[in-house]
């Protein structure tokens, strides 16, 4: 099987939207997921969202055939292609839904969404990974590692100082995987969030 | 006393650098702080760092006199001015170091550094606050709240969905303050960080 990571484009939004919904189902948080194709398009692909300098999505595609189409949509990133050896072929029940190139049998298997953050101590930008998702039938085959590695490699290429993300404290499998990737878990820090009505109140406050 | 919040400019870097160093001293982390005026200038004020769409710094200035200078450096933000009533005058031992306008007796009292983040569930950007700092002699006078509120207000104005930051779990005073500001503490999430040699390794990996 061939796997490719490339920058997502506006035409990928329907697939990205479906995967975001699947992620919400997996996390049992569908009641908190209000993303639509329109709201994703307008916020992720606006004129100010330059890849790597704002919200950026790497899309993971798979195919039983070598990739023949050119998908260099931005000069700042050359797609990464890998040959993946599998013991058993993958049966994708949603193949039709996630097809990007029917002629060459290419479909979307996952994505990672990230954007720059900044460390004042390092005086350097870094990347923050908001979402890393691999579709159900493609899990435990190294694709998550491939997506995360590609973000890390891009960070090094740009001279950035860190790649950060968050994990649920009970998700021991994920924590083990991240530690094996070289990440440290910052046990002392807690995320604070101001949102909803509590945030809106500041819009009308003096 | 008069307090003003405005967008920082490249000429503020020496003051920002000194405050970052003071923050490192406060956190006993000076050994991790490698920021220089040059590295801050080139990463915080590059052509790609458009205020609110990339790394953004609000500077807090104080003066015994009303502000008379115009500091609208960017059409996207009009400085916020407040009159602060104090029981006792503040004795600032570092006043000379932090003066921005000697004629009008204006000096820098703090800053907040933030940048956009993104929620796929909301399909909306938000703001992430990396640093919020008020100089020692100006603490416990509402300036931290003024800085945080100004970021929250800007988020609402831009239609953003969240303002987030992190806090040390043993810093109960800070946690209480943030909760009073309307923030929720996300107790289950842990920050993961890939940095230093572990990150650099990805630059040479296949």
Note the pLDDT of residue B87: 87
Distance from CA of B43 to the nearest CA of A (A): 6
Note the pLDDT of residue B194: 98
| Model confidence, pTM | 0.95
Report the chain B residue with the minimal C-alpha distance to residue A189. B168
* Residue corresponding to tokens 């007796």: B105
Nearest-by-Cβ selection for A152 from B48, B187, B202 = B202
B5 is written with which tokens? 């919040």
**Catalytic residue selected from B118, B160, B178, B202:** B178
> What count of CB pairs under 8 Å joins A to B?
236
Residues in chain A closer than 8 A to B170 (CB atoms):
188
Does ipTM exceed 0.85? yes
**Residues written for chain A:** 206
Please give the biggest Cα pair distance in chain B.
64
Q: Residue A179 above 70 pLDDT? A: yes
% pLDDT > 90, chain B:
85
A20 is written with which tokens? 């975001």
Compute the distance between CA of residue A154 and CA of residue A147 in angstroms, rounded to an integer.
11
Tell me whether residue A178 is one of the annotated catalytic residues: yes
Other Cβ atoms less than 10 A from the Cβ of B196: the count is 12
Judged by CB atoms closer than 8 Å, whether chains meet at A191 and B24 is answered as no
- DSSP sequence for B81-103: EEE---SS----TTTTTTEEETT
What's the rounded mean pLDDT across residues A3-16?
A: 96
Compute the distance between CA of residue A198 and CA of residue A33 in angstroms, rounded to an integer.
19
- DSSP sequence for A125-155: EEEEEEEEEE-GGGTTSSHHHHHHHHHHHHH
Nearest-by-Cβ selection for B120 from A50, A113, A191 = A113
Q: Are A149 and A60 in contact (CB under 8 A)?
A: no
Report the chain A residue with the minimal C-alpha distance to residue B80. A206
Residues in chain B closer than 8 A to A116 (CB atoms):
54-55, 115
What would the pLDDT profile of A21-33 be if each residue is shown by its tens digit?
Answer: 999 998 888 998 9
Report the chain B residue with the minimal C-alpha distance to residue A132. B120
Compute the distance between CA of residue B29 and CA of residue B11 in angstroms, rounded to an integer.
26
Judged by CB atoms closer than 8 Å, whether chains meet at A29 and B55 is answered as no
Domains of chain B: 2-204 (3.40.630.30)
What would the pLDDT profile of B87-131 be if each residue is shown by its tens digit?
Answer: 888 999 999 999 999 888 999 999 999 999 999 999 999 999 999
Residues in chain A closer than 8 A to B23 (CB atoms):
120
Q: Residue A71 above 90 pLDDT? A: no
Helices (H), chain A: 13-26, 37-44, 143-157, 172-180, 196-204
How would you label B79-107 residue by residue, b for 16+ Cβ within 10 Å and e otherwise?
bbeeeeeeeeeeebeeeeebbbeeebebb
What would the pLDDT profile of A120-172 be if each residue is shown by its tens digit?
Answer: 999 999 999 999 999 999 999 999 999 999 999 999 999 999 999 999 999 99
């Amino acid at each position: 099987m061939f796997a490719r990571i490339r920058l997502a484009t506006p035409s990928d939004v329907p697939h990205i939207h479906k995967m975001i919904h699947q992620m919400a189902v997996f996390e049992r948080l569908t009641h908190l997921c209000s993303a639509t194709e329109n709201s994703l398009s307008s916020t992720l692909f606006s004129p100010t969202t330059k890849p790597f300098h704002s919200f950026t999505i790497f899309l993971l595609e798979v195919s039983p055939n070598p990739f023949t189409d050119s998908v260099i949509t931005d000069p700042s990133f050359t797609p990464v292609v890998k040959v993946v050896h599998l013991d058993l072929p993958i049966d994708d029940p949603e193949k039709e839904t996630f097809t990007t190139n029917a002629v060459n049998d290419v479909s979307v298997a996952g994505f990672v969404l990230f954007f720059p953050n900044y460390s004042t101590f390092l005086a350097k930008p870094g990347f923050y990974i908001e979402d890393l998702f691999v579709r159900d039938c493609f899990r435990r085959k190294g694709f998550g590692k491939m997506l995360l590695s590609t973000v890390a490699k891009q960070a090094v290429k740009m001279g950035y100082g860190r790649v950060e993300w968050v994990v649920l404290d009970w998700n021991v499998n994920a924590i083990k995987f991240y530690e094996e990737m070289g990440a440290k878990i910052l046990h002392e820090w807690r995320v604070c969030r101001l949102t909803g009505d509590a945030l809106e109140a500041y819009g009308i406050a003096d």
